[in-house]
Amino acid sequence: MQFFPLIRHILFVSGLMAIASTDLANAEDSWRDLYRPQVRDGMPCRVMTPLSFAPNKNYPVIVSLHGAGGKGTDNKKQLKDWNRQLAGKQIRTDFPCFVIAPQADQLWNSDHLRKIKSIIGTLPSADMSRIYVLGHSMGGHGTYIFSQLDPDFFAAAAPSAGSGLRRTEPFIDPEKIKDLPIWAFHGDKDGVCPIEKDQAVFNEMKSLGGNMKFTIWEGDNHGVSGKFIPGAKNGTTHTSSERCDSEPDFLKWLFAQSK
């Protein structure tokens, strides 16, 4: 006699738990809605505007490049953990800016950069002297590539786990980007994009007296994309010359850079 009421109770509680779980998931994903979708010349893109936008102010622009896991055309997968961090209210309050998160279905190239520049050109009150580019893995590689394609366009670059060195193409030319403030990040146990390639870039930048900082995450593999914004205790930062800004906080360093 007690069996069916018990089943009804279990189903009711299970339903409440499912609703709560869905609500929690929706709440956790609500930050994605801050990145408004658009398409530019066939390239999917998401754009987050500054918090409390004021048309009489100029705002920096962060170009955020996803890794291979974000490739596609759905205009969703390119939003990664660092995009979630940048969408946090405190960061948006302390560092108001535009964040552009384009999506590519192949390695980042000059055509993507052209389309990104076109998007930036439509932004109201964008500070063209403070355009920053960053990304992880394929996006770290893209950060190096974009920097080399047009080093005068960017005020700073921050590649994570990407060396800019490809097997089938010539090595990146550090001479072209030696004057651009760069802060690179890499795990010393990275088996996907070995740190040796990034180390080679840093070593050459050092010989050129370039403006590059290089943080090595001790004991970490490839999955370090969530670390470069908040920082972590297992990171050791090296500098290529006295030209490098010694600021230890990444976002403070980034937003201090200007052409």
Instruction: Say whether both 202 and 92 belong to one domain.
Output: yes
pLDDT score at 9: 44
**C-alpha pair distances (Å), 29 with each of 47, 72, 83, 161, 167:** 16, 20, 12, 25, 37
Q: At 143, which CATH number?
A: 3.40.50.1820
Ordered DSSP codes for 52-115: T--TTS-EEEEEEE--GGG-SSSSSTT--HHHHHHTSHHHHHHS--EEEEE--SSS--HHHHHH
Clarify whether residues 145 and 169 are in a common domain: yes
Residues 27, 42: one domain? Answer: no
Question: Does 114 share its domain with 19?
Answer: no
* 72-102 per-position pLDDT tens digit: 999 999 999 999 999 999 999 999 999 999 9
Beta partners for 215?
185, 237
Residue % of the chain over a pLDDT of 90 = 83
For the segment 136-146, the average pLDDT, to the nearest whole number, is 95
Pair (59, 27) in one structural domain: no
Domain count, the chain: 2
What is the span of the domain harbouring residue 9?
1-34
